[in-house]
Structures are given as C-alpha cells and as structure tokens.
Amino acid sequence: MSHIVGIVMGSDSDYPFVVDTLKVLKRFDISFEVSVISAHRDTERALSYATSARERNLDIIIAFAGMAAHLAGVIASNTTLPVIGVPLDRTSFGGRDALLSTLQMPPGIPVATVGVDSGANAAWLALRVLSLQNPALQKKLEEEKEVTKKKLLEKTEKVREMWNHES
C-alpha cells in the first residue's frame, strides 16, 4: 500500500527543521511531497493545498510553522485528512507562541501537535497513523521498537561497565 505524506512549511527558512521528518519517512519508504506555503502571505494557496489534498492522494499532512503558527490550523480547517502540527522556535518566546497557536484549535478542527522543533516525532506519529491500514508498515514499526529496546539494553550494560571501572 502506497502512502503519501504532505509536508508543508511556512517559509523556506523552516527547511532545517523539516530534514529529520524527511529522513524518517524515507527510511520507511513513505513517499512525500514538500511545499512552502504561508498561511498569511498566500492564503489562497494554503486553501487550495488543503482542499486538493485528497485529489493529490495525500494521506496525512505535517505542517511546520513558527511565530503565529497558523498554517496547521488553516490546513486542518480545509481538509478532513489528519494534520500534524510542528511548532517551531522562531522567536524570543522559545517556540511557546507557536506551540500555543498550534495546540489551541476550535472544536472540529483538530491538529495533532508534537513538541517544539520535533519534526522527527511528527514523522513517527504519521507512520503510526498510516500503519492502522497497512499491516506491512505496522510490522516495520514493531521491528523498529524491538531494535530500540535492544539498543537501550546495550546502553544499560555500557553504563554499568563505566560505573564498575570508576568505583
């Protein structure tokens, strides 16, 4: 089953925050399209992007924005696809402004929101949503979880060895 994730950012200067998202999706062979769309500077294009998302066969949309961070909400208000918002730290407020703007949506306009600058977690959440209808992807995620557990056990042993050498 082929999936396409829409990745949208408010400015090309947001791209460094998007890279980790793209790496995670690529690692799981998930296709994506990337766009730069401003909810404020080109509202018509943001509306068109959201309303045509199903026609473009998108399954889920990840929206990156800082400051007022209205992009995820604008997208979510114009589609029924799941939207994940990634608030960005772009001001002296440490991303709290973007976080609150992304979180505080009115009833009926949900935006799943990850932590500030957490593009990789947005990708992981998208993978979990996509895996609901994709057993092969679900299996890959389960295998990844086992690899992570194994790495943690190895790190535990390493820390214990360091302690034994120091004591």
- Over residues 27-80, the pLDDT tens digits come to 999 999 999 999 989 999 999 999 999 999 999 999 999 888 899 999 999 999
With pLDDT > 70 as the criterion, what percentage of the chain qualifies?
A: 99
pLDDT at 1: 64
Is the distance from CB of 3 to CB of 103 less than 8 angstroms? no
Q: What is the mean pLDDT of the chain?
A: 93
- For 4-133, CATH number out of 1.10.10.60, 3.40.1440.10, 3.40.50.1970, 3.30.230.10 equals 3.40.50.1970
Query: How many other C-beta atoms can be found within 10 angstroms of the C-beta atom of residue 56?
Result: 10
Beta bridge partners of 88: 66
Is the distance from CB of 21 to CB of 123 less than 8 angstroms? yes
Is the distance from CB of 126 to CB of 5 less than 8 angstroms? yes
Burial class, 106, CB count within 10 angstroms (exposed 0-12 / middle 13-18 / buried 19+)? exposed
d(CA 111, CA 113): 6
Answer with the residue of higher pLDDT: 61 or 1: 61
pLDDT band of 8, cuts 50, 70, 90: very high
User: Domain ranges in the chain?
Assistant: 4-133, 135-167
Q: Is the pLDDT of residue 90 over 80?
A: yes
Answer with the residue of higher pLDDT: 114 or 162: 114
pLDDT at 132: 96
Q: Is the pLDDT of residue 10 over 70?
A: yes
